[in-house]
Amino acid sequence: MFKILQTYKLLFLRLILIVAGIEFSIYFFKIGLLFTGIFGLCMVFLLVREMYFYVRNFVMIYDKTIASILQDDFTSDFSKHKFNRSYNDLFQLYEKLKNKQNEQISKDIIYRSILNNIETGVVILQRQEKDWNIFLMNDYFSNHFNVPKVSKWKYLKNQLPALCEIIEEDDFNEIKTAIEISINEQHKQTFVLQASRTEIFEQDYFIILLDSIQNVVEKKEKDAWINLMKVISHELLNSITPIRSICQNLQDLVEQDSLSTEDLDDIKTSVETMLRRSDHLQKFVEGYRKLAMLPSPKKEKIELQDLIATCLKIMNPLFRKENIEVKNTISLKYEINVDPQQTEQVLINLMTNSINALENSSLKQITISAEAKENRVFIKIADNGKGIEKEIEDKIFLPFFTTRNEGAGIGLTLSKNIIEAHGGYILYKNEKEKTVFEICLIEE
């Protein structure tokens, strides 16, 4: 505001000088000083000319700057005017908006780069009056479906009618469904379609996401194989490396002309170590075979109470040895259709897991409960042990993952596979400071 007033003062001063110059020129003409009057008029002319160019430049710079701001065109260079204090506020506004636009452009480039590098088809529509325009289409969508990056919905509809018709049928509302789409006019693939609608700054947007089920499955299979190979190679190297080292040492010993008592002791220790590592490797392979060759369950009707009672009878010696209090709260009489031996193995694995969790607890309790809801039976085995650390919660069902030195790491994985083979599921959770494993069996 101060700078604008200063500009007005400069203009006012120029006007005063021009008026004064005209008055003096007239006065000189009246008193007969002709040449002095002409000189005064020349000075007035120069002052008028200077004021004209000053006002013109002032207006032109303001017009150019405002036009640049309104048109989002920040390519103009006003550096030669930056020392003119009259334009300071204007140029600061221009630079601030220019920086904001550059920041926004950078963000847009980053977001588009992220969207173009994910293996999910993304299309964002923007509503224009009664029609929809394509605001963004990522590279994966364009390349995977062989669709050019068109700007109108009607053009996309010509390319992918199966997708667009489903969206139009739901009137561009939220969708979550599976859809089959032909790829390159060949066999159809199944995709998960998720679509949502949102309004931002009075602009209506519709976001479409397409995930190939085949790609998701293949990625999960690949990740599973990579994890499995890591575990297998780790276990093999842990056994083969020391065995090879021991064999090398034994070879050096037997090549000697004579063996001392100390050498014989070394040989005996080496052989024992090799046997121990071989036993570990054999257990590992047997564990893998159990997981890989799990037979299909042979289901039969059995009383849930009888199954739990059998498991408790087997585990009672261990409970007494570890001084563990077991509470069996199952009172309902309910028949479940399961493979008795496999389900018994699962329950024993979970009880053994609870015993290990209670190892360092002063008060040791295991609670077994069950409830039936609709056509589902939920069996819970809870303990008040140390629980499972947050960092490893998502790993406890992975093959060969264990936190115990003597553990094989297949108990929970085997239990999970057995329950899933029965059409149910098993999960871990915390309830009232207790570690709970819950089995869900779905009755057919």
Residue 38's pLDDT is 81
Residue 1's pLDDT is 47
- Contact status, residue 136 vs residue 124, Cβ threshold 8 Å: yes
Mean pLDDT, range 118-123, rounded to an integer: 86
Beta strand 203-212 with 325-328 is unpaired
Most confident of 24-38, 196-210, 264-278: 196-210
Percentage of the chain surpassing pLDDT 70?
72
**pTM reported for the whole predicted model:** 0.44
Most confident of 197-201, 215-219, 379-383: 379-383
Angle at 189 between CA 206 and CA 132, to 5 degrees: 20
Structural domains in the chain plus CATH codes: 2-91 (no CATH), 118-215 (3.30.450.20), 217-292 (1.10.287), 300-442 (3.30.565.10)
Amino acid at 146: N
**Cβ count near 222 (within 10 Å):** 10
Kindly tell me if the per-residue pLDDT of 279 is higher than 80.
no
